[in-house]
């Protein structure tokens, strides 16, 4: 692993620079804010890059900085044109499939699925791949095929408590982090085949009442809990509570644009702990399509391990949620299906999600 520092006005932009240079297979080593001599506060993020990728990219950069001959410039332009032509061809082909072989079943099935908010481009690609097959002639077959494709792409992270771990919940404000963490605490401590030793940490000292909210749940369930105010305290407590099986960490709700809170969370994540930290993004099933991308880009900065879908009971429309999974491939771990602690929690289940979705597809 090679370390390289990226500097920007916020951690997200610094991370974006690293991604555009080296791709997605990166680790965040640390992040800090510094006031520069020009009076501007900048964020320095140290990124870990796999050695081979670092070497490959830097030799590419060295090559591209050499003066180019006219011939080379022409060749590059030609290649660019080729790519553009190919894209135009694909678009044309997709259009043709839509217009010409819009057999009745395609038109019908497409209409059903588009109504749910599922990505039309993704659907068109499926229809294109099925061109000239019998599947496109039959509504039921076509619907099953699309569901199978969804089933293949959606990933589930199995529940595993075989190793000690720190489970941290992050997400936008009010999505259900604290409620879900209380449900998880009860599940791990009392509801599985074997009781696990669970402790709750609260990093949220921003919100009025946040400490009391988690304390109340913890007291009722008789689960040890601590409010943590600094990284040092986090480290000390982790050492003291080494014998616990699961350390559940609640964090403050963060708007995806709240740089300060992101940096603070990264500091907690970067402690030198021998115990694995799993960061779970809590995302409501009611997520708006327009917000989806910002949420993912900003929270993915925290090296997400899995997705907890909250407020599953508050909607019957799962198209946007499925788009999120199709696009970002983040495996889901739990569904929060109501306000009741500890009952309203389910281990994530693809079949259940797809059943709910198909209900939405067929709703008149």
Ligand X SMILES: Nc1nc2c(ncn2[C@@H]2O[C@H](COP(=O)(O)OP(=O)(O)OP(=O)(O)O)[C@@H](O)[C@H]2O)c(=O)[nH]1
Taking the complex as a whole, how short is the minimal distance between the CB of residue 16 and ligand X, in angstroms? Answer: 25
Distance in Å, CB of 177 to Mg ion, minimum: 5
The size of the interface with Mg ion (CB under 5 A), counted in residues, is 2
Answer whether 15's CB lies under 8 Å from 301's CB.
yes
Q: In Å, how far are 112, 185, 252, 253, 263 from 257, measured between CA atoms?
A: 35, 29, 14, 11, 11
Distances (CA, A) of 208 to 204, 212, 214, 271: 9, 9, 12, 26
Q: Report the partner that residue 159 touches, choosing among Mg ion, ligand X, none (CB closer than 5 to 8 A by kind).
A: none
How many Cβ atoms are within 10 Å of 77's Cβ, its own excluded?
A: 10
CB of 85 to ligand X, least distance (A): 48
Shortest separation between residue 285's beta carbon and ligand X, angstroms? 8
State which residue, 178 or 320, has the beta carbon closest to Mg ion.
Answer: 178
Least CB distance to ligand X at residue 174 (A): 4
Contact segment (CB under 5 A) with Mg ion among 85-93, 94-102, 174-182, 232-240 equals 174-182
Phi, psi of 236 (to 5 degrees): -65, -45
If you search the block for the tokens 């496109």, which residue do you land on? 136
What residues contact 223, with CB distance under 8 A and at least 6 apart? 185, 186, 189, 198, 199, 200, 217
Q: Are 263 and 236 in contact (CB under 8 A)?
A: no
Sheet containing strand 27-35, edge to edge, reads 2-8, 41-49, 27-35
Note whether 179 binds Mg ion by CB under 5 A: no
Q: Residue 117: what are its φ and ψ, rounded to 5°? A: 95, 5
Min separation Cβ 298 and Mg ion, Å: 18
Give the three-state DSSP class for 342: coil
Q: Is 178 in the site for Mg ion (CB under 5 A)?
A: yes
202 binds Mg ion (CB under 5 A): no
Which CB atom, from 247 or from 353, has the smaller least distance to Mg ion?
247
Minimal distance, residue 270 CB to Mg ion, in Å: 22
Site for Mg ion in 29-58 (CB under 5 A): none
Q: Which stretch binds Mg ion (CB under 5 A): 111-119, 157-165, 176-184, 306-314?
A: 176-184
The Cα–Cα gap between 79 and 261 comes to 44
Strand partners, 43: 8, 33
Q: Please identify, using beta-carbon distances, which residue of 174 and 359 lies nearer to ligand X.
A: 174
Specify the residue, 120 or 220, whose C-beta has the smaller distance to Mg ion. Answer: 220
Taking the least distance from each CB to ligand X, the nearer of 16 and 347 is 347
Residue 120, helix vs strand vs coil: helix
Residue among 179 and 306 whose Cβ is closer to ligand X: 179
Shortest distance, position 160 Cβ to ligand X, whole Å:
23
Residue number with the smallest Cβ distance to Mg ion: 178
Q: How far is the C-alpha of 358 from the C-alpha of 364, rounded, in Å? A: 12
Stretch that binds Mg ion, among 135-143, 169-177, 191-199, 254-262 (CB under 5 A): 169-177
Kindly list the residues in this chain that would bind ligand X in the complex (CB under 6 A).
171, 173-179, 204, 207, 210, 253, 310-311, 313-314, 336-339, 344
Rg of the Cα atoms in the chain: 24
Residues numbered 321-360 forming contacts with Mg ion, rule: CB under 5 A: none
Residues that bind Mg ion (CB under 5 A): 177-178
């Amino acid at each position: 692993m090679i370390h390289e520092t990226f500097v920007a006005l916020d951690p997200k932009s610094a991370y974006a620079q690293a991604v555009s240079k080296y791709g997605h297979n990166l680790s965040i080593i640390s992040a800090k804010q510094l006031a520069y001599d020009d009076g501007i506060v900048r964020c320095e993020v140290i990124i870990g890059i796999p050695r081979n990728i670092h070497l490959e990219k830097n030799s590419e950069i060295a090559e591209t900085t050499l003066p180019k001959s006219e011939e080379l410039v022409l060749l590059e332009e030609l290649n660019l044109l080729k790519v553009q032509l190919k894209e135009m061809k694909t678009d044309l082909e997709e259009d043709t499939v839509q217009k010409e072989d819009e057999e009745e079943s395609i038109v019908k099935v497409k209409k059903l699925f588009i109504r749910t908010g599922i990505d039309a481009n993704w659907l068109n690609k499926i229809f294109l791949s099925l061109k000239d097959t019998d599947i496109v002639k039959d509504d039921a077959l076509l619907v099953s095929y699309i569901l199978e494709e969804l089933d293949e792409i959606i990933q589930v992270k199995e529940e595993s408590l075989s190793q000690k771990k720190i489970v941290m919940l992050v997400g936008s404000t009010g999505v259900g982090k604290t409620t879900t963490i209380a449900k998880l605490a009860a599940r791990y401590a009392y509801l599985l085949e074997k009781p696990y030793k669970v402790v709750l940490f609260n990093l949220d000292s921003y919100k009025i009442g946040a400490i009391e909210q988690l304390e109340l749940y913890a007291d009722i369930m008789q689960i040890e809990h601590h409010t943590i105010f600094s990284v040092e305290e986090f480290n000390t407590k982790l050492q003291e509570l080494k014998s616990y099986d699961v350390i559940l960490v609640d964090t403050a709700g963060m708007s995806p644009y709240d740089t300060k809170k992101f940096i603070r969370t990264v500091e907690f994540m970067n402690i030198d702990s021998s115990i694995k930290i799993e960061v779970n993004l809590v995302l409501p099933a009611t997520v708006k399509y327009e917000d989806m991308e910002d949420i993912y880009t900003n929270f993915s900065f925290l090296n997400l391990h899995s997705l907890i879908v909250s407020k599953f009971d508050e909607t019957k429309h799962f198209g946007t949620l499925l788009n999120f999974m199709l696009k970002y491939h983040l495996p889901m771990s739990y569904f929060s299906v109501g306000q009741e602690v500890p009952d309203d929690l389910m281990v994530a289940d693809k079949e259940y999600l797809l059943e709910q979705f198909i209900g939405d597809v067929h709703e008149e």
